[in-house]
């Protein structure tokens, strides 16, 4: 027979599961966890179950209507996802979030949740090339048009782009490759004045550097494939509902959120309050589009988030050192990094992000395309690859890759020259990164 130790004479406190008010580093490790009912597993398990058993007839109905929170089908909820969702919501400072299969899926779901055929989005022109292609190719085919703002610092450009059909404003906190930072509070003020939700892609900044919801944005999206995961092993995306947009008050009409989803049913606003947009995505758009995340990928995402702040500190420090070093190199024409004094976005970096500008930026090598090719082919520590934001350093030549389908005049307007190289600075020993860049640049000047 097993003998049990005597119970202690004092109370044994239960583990904590509420993390509101705790520090960022504590929340990135713990927020969102719930007690694991099976074996007390300390790490949230990978729940590989497409669907879930209902206890009763009444529970099945409650889960379908959303009246009862709980598992239903992994296309819109999964216990592994739930932890990642709560953790990302906690770090971004929103009441709720939903994870999906990729960053592109997050952007698609969030924006198609706001705009339909005949309606429009206003976006900054320098957003991630894949998002521009998504808007200009697929969204355009669906009848959702996009109006681009070239310089988000110029208020008149916003006023000219916004029309009565505009249903969403979309910007990135730190666009790449040009590191042309966006002043989120300034854009949020414009969006608020027009009663339009501001959607911010916070992929490159991460909530460690910038929290757009606190700056007046309404919805945050992530390609959590990037810094939130950090390992580069799996795609994922997230949408955080800021809970602040007054859907009923806007005269722009968001019927999917404010009207009854079925005769006699409450609207998402009535049923879910500040989490109306999240619920609308979960039970409506994301469920319809089927852009579900694999539970294995949300497990990997959670593992990554646990070390976000530590990795970001190294990313940020390495990027600053590398950018300053590149600026002084004779084979380098210019460096597009807002962390450098003299850069035209330096004041935004100072004012908004404590002088930091992420770790994805560009520089122009002398010799145009030939110089870029020689440099690129000489890299050994930096990986020649697309992707950003994982622990390893990566380089890419945008003009012949991410932006190759852009017309030449548009590439020129975006500053994507033939000698431009994009870097995503990893967490390696910075001297090794500089040595690699030095020897590759040496081949250009030789």
Cα distance between residue 139 and residue 434, in whole Å:
41
Of residues 272 and 361, the one with the C-beta less far from ligand PLP? 361
Cα distance between residue 397 and residue 17, in whole Å:
46
Q: Measuring CA to CA, which residue among 202, 408, 405, 413 is closest to residue 308?
A: 202
Query: Smallest gap, in angstroms, from Cβ of residue 173 to ligand PLP?
Result: 9
Of residues 76 and 203, the one with the C-beta less far from ligand PLP? 203
Of residues 26 and 405, the one with the C-beta less far from ligand PLP? 405
419-to-198, 235, 243, 281, 427 alpha-carbon distances in Å: 34, 30, 43, 42, 25
Query: Smallest gap, in angstroms, from Cβ of residue 301 to ligand PLP?
Result: 11
Of residues 110 and 279, the one with the C-beta less far from ligand PLP? 110
Residues making contact with ligand PLP (CB under 6 A): 102-104, 128, 130-131, 172, 201, 203-204, 223, 225, 235, 237, 388
Cα distance between residue 399 and residue 416, in whole Å:
6
Cα distance between residue 176 and residue 208, in whole Å:
18
Give the Cβ contact number of residue 218 at 10 Å: 27
On the CB side of 330, CA atoms within 13 Å amount to 6
- Residue for token digits 């990978």? 46
Cα distance between residue 361 and residue 70, in whole Å:
42
Of residues 104 and 206, the one with the C-beta less far from ligand PLP? 104
Query: Smallest gap, in angstroms, from Cβ of residue 221 to ligand PLP?
Result: 8
Query: Smallest gap, in angstroms, from Cβ of residue 178 to ligand PLP?
Result: 12
Of residues 125 and 235, the one with the C-beta less far from ligand PLP? 235
Of residues 80 and 223, the one with the C-beta less far from ligand PLP? 223
Taking each helix axis from N to C end, the angle separating 368-377 and 430-445, rounded to the nearest 10 degrees, works out to 130
Query: Smallest gap, in angstroms, from Cβ of residue 240 to ligand PLP?
Result: 14
- Residue for token digits 């020993």? 429
Query: Smallest gap, in angstroms, from Cβ of residue 210 to ligand PLP?
Result: 13
Nearest-CB residue for ligand PLP: 103
**Could you tell me if 18 and 31 are in contact, meaning their C-beta atoms sit under 8 angstroms apart?**
no
DSSP string, 105-168: HHHHHHHHTT--TT-EEEEETTS-HHHHHIIIIIIHHTT-EEEEES-TT-HHHHHHH--TTEEE
Query: Smallest gap, in angstroms, from Cβ of residue 208 to ligand PLP?
Result: 16
Of residues 49 and 303, the one with the C-beta less far from ligand PLP? 303
Query: Smallest gap, in angstroms, from Cβ of residue 36 to ligand PLP?
Result: 28
The two tokens of residue 135 are 């808007």
């Amino acid at each position: 027979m097993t003998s049990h130790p005597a119970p202690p004479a004092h109370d044994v406190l239960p583990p904590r599961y509420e993390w509101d008010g705790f520090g960022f580093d504590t929340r990135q490790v713990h927020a969102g966890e719930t007690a694991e009912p099976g074996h007390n597993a300390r790490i949230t398990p990978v729940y590989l179950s497409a669907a879930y058993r209902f206890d009763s007839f009444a529970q099945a109905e409650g889960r379908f209507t959303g009246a009862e929170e709980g598992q239903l089908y992994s296309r819109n909820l999964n216990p592994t996802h739930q932890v990642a969702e709560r953790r990302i919501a906690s770090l971004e400072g929103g009441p709720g979030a939903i994870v999906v299969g990729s960053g592109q899926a997050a952007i698609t779901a969030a924006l198609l949740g706001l705009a339909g055929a005949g309606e429009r989005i206003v976006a900054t022109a320098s957003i991630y090339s894949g998002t521009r292609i998504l808007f200009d190719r697929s969204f355009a085919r669906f009848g959702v048009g996009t109006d681009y703002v070239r310089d988000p610092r110029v208020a008149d450009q916003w006023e000219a782009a916004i029309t009565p059909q505009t249903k969403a404003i979309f910007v990135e906190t730190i666009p790449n490759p040009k590191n042309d930072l966006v002043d989120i509070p300034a854009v949020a003020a414009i969006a608020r004045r027009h009663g339009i939700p501001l959607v911010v892609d916070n992929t490159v900044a991460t909530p460690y550097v910038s929290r757009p919801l606190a700056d007046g944005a309404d919805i945050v999206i992530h390609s959590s494939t990037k810094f939130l995961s950090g390992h580069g092993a799996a795609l994922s995306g997230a949408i955080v509902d800021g809970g602040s947009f007054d859907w009923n008050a806007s005269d722009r009409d968001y019927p999917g959120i404010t009207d009854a989803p079925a005769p006699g049913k409450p609207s998402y606003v009535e049923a879910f309050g500040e989490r109306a947009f999240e619920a609308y995505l979960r039970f409506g758009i994301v469920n319809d589009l089927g852009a579900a995340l694999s539970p294995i990928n949300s497990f990997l995402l959670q593992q990554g988030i646990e070390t976000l702040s530590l990795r970001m500190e190294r990313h940020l420090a390495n990027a600053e050192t590398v950018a300053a070093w590149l600026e002084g190199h004779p084979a380098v024409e210019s460096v597009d990094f807002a962390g450098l004094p003299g850069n035209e976005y330096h004041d935004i970096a100072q004012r908004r992000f404590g002088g930091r500008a992420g770790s994805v930026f560009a520089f122009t090598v002398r010799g145009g395309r030939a110089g870029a090719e020689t440099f690129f082919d000489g890299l050994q520590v930096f990986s020649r690859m697309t992707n950003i934001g994982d622990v390893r350093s990566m380089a890419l030549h945008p003009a012949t890759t991410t932006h190759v389908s852009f017309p030449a005049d548009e590439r020129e307007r975006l500053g994507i020259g033939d000698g431009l190289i994009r870097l995503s600075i990893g967490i390696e020993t910075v001297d090794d990164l500089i040595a690699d860049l030095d020897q590759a640049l040496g081949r250009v000047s030789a």
